[in-house]
Structure 1
């Protein structure tokens, strides 16, 4: 049994490592084949602002291309980037914030995204599973029908559209929540109550943009799973024996729906992260989503690559952790 679990985990690790390398390579070639380059764009912007002469512009562009390695061939840049990334975990300098390393910009923004996104996903998933179990268990009641119908409508709303609606209503019309930032500019970072309350207030609307949609999506899938399990013979036998509802739900229904729900969570993480980038941009929240949008605007290749690699690593790691939990949820995996 131990060998089967070990073999399962090793296979998962190798698979995710392969996915990571392929995804990294694909994005590298995609972004480097896009017409234009960040150095030329940046110099042209400086020329418009400060009147830099055309001959001087060409010299500066060529020098900066040599510094960033943009004068080399595509495959040579790829091997150099891959070597630097694997050996030194170095994404290179930011083009716009030169000479500041891209990794520094990412590490400054990453904790905000991880904290907000991680908390939102966990809350939404747990609430969705609980609500879906109740709605599925009480599927014949009118309240369950109303909740289910409402959930169907809300779950189809794009997170960015809901974010815009929340901003319009609660920020501009009602003036209940701030627009932008992670905390009040009047406060210093500390563990004081005013600072914590300011963090919560600034994070509330971005978090609700994700939770409100995702909780109903999880509820719908959980309801379908519960109804499917309720039709099984062993559930009917347990009900005929007079098993308490609480034990029936906890021991049989939840246990048999958690594995597909965990799988659904793992598969949807990438889509959730992509949607969250737009949410951070809309709320001007200082996470990697806003940094990513700024990097796209400035064509900052190194920051774009760094954010993409970091995001892929986090999503794949989260998926891997969920897969590591599978043997604990499903005994069939433990038995091989």
Structure 2
């Protein structure tokens, strides 16, 4: 439904680079339309796309790196997104849930109240704003951390300490910008779940048995918060395959977010469909895994005897 199509983009690019005219490329247009699956009606295009996807796992050629298949382009960007977004998602959840549990358990104390108010004030701040502040401070003022790319361009990718160290160094700023805001959201939601539990009979009973407060918090109070928090975390893991578009764009990080933006600019429909299909599959898979994991965390929701 969008104006233009990938074929026009290819021909315009060829015209700019090699001087090929669109008017003199009738056979070339027909060939490209067939190659990109744009010939025939919309229904025929859809059925052909689904056939290639289901039977051959083929999304067709990508304009970003023609004639490389779109799945190869996506596969090259996927590890970077999983590495960055996956690690930051886990860190945000662990830090936020732990801090939120402590803040809720110690409700009314100065430190807990200050932490909760700071979280409320900054939890809705966009990731990219924090990223801009970090770039300004640590890259431009102090000059201690890089602010672009995923590794030093002078290095050859490989499993060696120098390259891995460069990847970690380049990933600090984008990771911190995501973890800072992400953990605040988990903090608030966990605190909201912990506070209503205070004073419940089962906690009073655990205290009467002489258990330490840390044990009561970890094994009794926090365990009742796992169900909604793990569910939300599992669904959130499915969405990391989209990448954090703005953060990846800001740091020129070669993940799926940057790839998706580049594909949209070029009207690379095959790559766009590949990324969105991957995201859909990831969310559905996360739902399925949750159905298997949640009964292990909370026996009350078992659907069998």
Q: Same fold (TM over 0.5)?
A: yes
Structure 1 range deviating more: 35-44 or 316-325: 316-325
Stretch deviating more after TM superposition (231-240 or 150-159): 231-240
Please state whether the residue corresponding to 1:132 is helix, strand or coil: helix
Kindly report which structure 2 residues correspond to 1:57-136, keeping only aligned pairs within 5 A, or say none.
Answer: 57-136=25-104
What is aligned with 2:154? 186
| CA–CA distance in structure 2, aligned partners of residues 291 and 38 of structure 1 | 16
| Alignment deviations for residues 267-326 of structure 1 (CA, whole Å, 9 cap, x no partner) | 444666556122112111111111111101111000111111122222332333233210
Asked if 1:277 is matched to 2:245, the reply is yes
Name the SS of the counterpart of 1:55 in structure 2.
Answer: coil
What TM-score do the two structures reach when normalised by structure 1? 0.84
Match of 1:165 in 2: 133
Per the alignment, residue 26 of structure 1 pairs with none
Which residue in 1 is equivalent to 2:265? 297
1:8 is matched with which residue?
none
* CA distance in 1: counterparts of 2:101 and 2:64, whole angstroms: 50
Q: How far apart, in 2, do the equivalents of 1:233 and 1:128 lie?
A: 26
Question: Quick one: distance in 1 between partners of 2:239 and 2:54?
Answer: 27
Counterpart residue number, 1:218: 186
SS of the residue 2:24 aligns to? helix
Deviation track 1:30-80 (CA, whole Å, cap 9, x = no partner) reads xxx222211112322433454433421455333311322212110001011
2:131 and 2:177 in contact (8 A); partners too: yes
Q: TM-score, normalised by structure 2?
A: 0.92
Higher relative contact order (CA 8 A, sep 6+): 1
User: 2:7 is matched with which residue: 39, 44, 50?
Assistant: 39
Distance 1:270 1:325 in 2: 15
Structure 2 residues not aligned, in runs of 5+: none
Question: Does the 8 Å CA contact 2:78/2:256 hold for their aligned counterparts?
Answer: yes
Alignment match, 1:314: 282
Task: Tell whether the 8 Å contact from 2:249 to 2:258 is kept in structure 1 after alignment.
Answer: yes
Alignment partner, residue 300 of structure 2: 332
Distance (Å, rounded) in 1 between the aligned partners of 2:169 and 2:290: 31
Partner of 1:233: 201
Q: Is the 8 A contact 2:97 2:187 kept in 1?
A: yes
Deviations 1:168-189 (A, max 9, x none): 3322332221122221122233
Give 1 or 2: higher helix fraction. Answer: 1
Task: Judge conservation of contact 2:12–2:22 (CA < 8 Å) in 1.
Answer: no
Q: Aligned residue for 1:286?
A: 254
Which residue, 221, 225, 228 being the options, matches 1:253? Answer: 221
- Residue of structure 1 aligned with 2:142, choices 174, 187, 212: 174
Q: Distance in 2 between matches of 1:168 and 1:49?
A: 37
Cα RMSD for the two superposed structures: 2.0
Contact 1:39 1:95 in 2 (8 A): no
Quick one: distance in 2 between partners of 1:180 and 1:334? Answer: 48
